[in-house]
């Protein structure tokens, strides 16, 4: 019998975290050493938006360097899990009745591998992605998240990768990188909703007016959180693994439900 694994939402921030050694990456390393080893990992990343919902099925998912202008060291970093196909196929079979399709045209984008590089550095656990359907409402994302419970019960680790606050245009590169007031307000609003199990507040995040508009000029970095929240059972709690707003407008808040 499989034990119910935790589910995770990880604020991924800059791709540079993949090669850095800081408190955030130490948290990921410790987390990977602490939680029970999963059969496979399904990642919902902010960086794979599609017309429809897709599971990527490849035995060795290609590594996608979906960023520009970073040091060469980052483009030389490799993360290549193998033996993935049968688990991705199993996930597809579990979800196809809910409109999910299959493809072999993606791989692992940096929203996935930059986290996994610290979480499971040996790339010894099969990992694959579920896309974000850009036509979905927040409620539809949440409902698809509910359908992932079967995979969780089968020993899959479900991981959402994004940022609660993500405004690249407002990033501060000068000496003052303190968080904007609106970033603190929105991040705190979501944290409170998670703690209070207020999923209506999570779904109605756009009701927060200007703080939401500034925190999420586009919402793809927030949407993976809805998949993870949907998986919370009545007997489970939310634990914050990491908190902080970097460069003024990037929330690195990460949490576990267990």
For the stretch 16-45, pLDDT in tens is: 999 999 999 999 999 999 999 999 999 999
Residue 191 — φ and ψ, nearest 5°? -60, -40
What is the average per-residue pLDDT within 185-198?
99
The dihedral formed by the CA atoms of 103, 113, 94 and 59, expressed in degrees to the nearest 10: 60
- Residue 21 tokens read as 């050694």
What is the average per-residue pLDDT within 95-114?
98
- Is the pLDDT reported for residue 213 higher than 70? yes
CA atoms within 13 A on the CB side of 250: 16
| pLDDT of the residue at 175 | 84
Radius of gyration of the chain, Cα coordinates, nearest whole angstrom: 17
Q: What average pLDDT does the structure give for the chain?
A: 97
For the stretch 106-134, pLDDT in tens is: 999 999 999 999 999 999 999 999 999 99
CB 133 within 8 A of CB 96: no
By three-state DSSP, how is residue 36 classified? coil
| pLDDT of the residue at 1 | 56
- Tell me the domain boundaries of the chain: 7-257
Assigned CATH for 7-257: 3.40.830.10
Angle between helices 110-119 and 23-34 (to 10 degrees): 70
| String of DSSP letters for 180-193 | PHHHHHHHHHHHHH
| pLDDT of the residue at 134 | 98
C-beta neighbour count of 204 within 10 angstroms: 14
- Is the pLDDT reported for residue 142 higher than 60? yes
CB 131 within 8 A of CB 49: yes
- Is the pLDDT reported for residue 2 higher than 90? no
């Amino acid at each position: 019998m499989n034990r119910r694994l935790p589910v995770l939402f990880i604020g991924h921030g800059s791709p540079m975290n993949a090669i850095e050694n800081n408190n955030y990456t130490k948290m990921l390393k410790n987390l990977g050493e602490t939680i029970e080893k999963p059969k496979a990992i399904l990642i919902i990343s902010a960086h794979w938006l599609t017309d429809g919902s897709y599971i990527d099925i490849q035995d060795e998912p290609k590594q996608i360097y979906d960023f520009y202008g970073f040091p060469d060291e980052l483009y030389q970093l490799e993360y290549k899990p193998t033996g993935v196909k049968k688990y991705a196929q199993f996930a597809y079979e579990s979800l196809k009745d809910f409109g999910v399709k299959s493809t072999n045209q993606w791989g692992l984008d940096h929203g996935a591998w930059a986290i996994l590089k610290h979480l499971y550095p040996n790339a010894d656990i099969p990992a694959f992605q579920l896309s974000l359907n850009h036509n979905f409402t927040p409620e539809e994302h949440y409902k698809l998240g509910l359908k992932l419970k079967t995979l969780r019960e089968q020993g899959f680790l479900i991981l959402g990768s994004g940022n609660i606050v993500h405004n690249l245009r407002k990033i501060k590169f000068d000496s003052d990188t303190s968080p904007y007031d609106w970033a603190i307000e929105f991040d705190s609003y979501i944290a409170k909703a998670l703690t209070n199990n207020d999923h209506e507040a999570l779904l109605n995040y756009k009701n927060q007016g200007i703080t939401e508009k500034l925190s999420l000029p586009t919402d793809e970095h927030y949407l993976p959180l809805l998949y993870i929240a949907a998986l919370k059972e009545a007997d489970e709690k939310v634990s914050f693994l990491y908190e902080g707003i970097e460069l003024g407008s990037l929330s690195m808040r990460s949490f576990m439900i267990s």
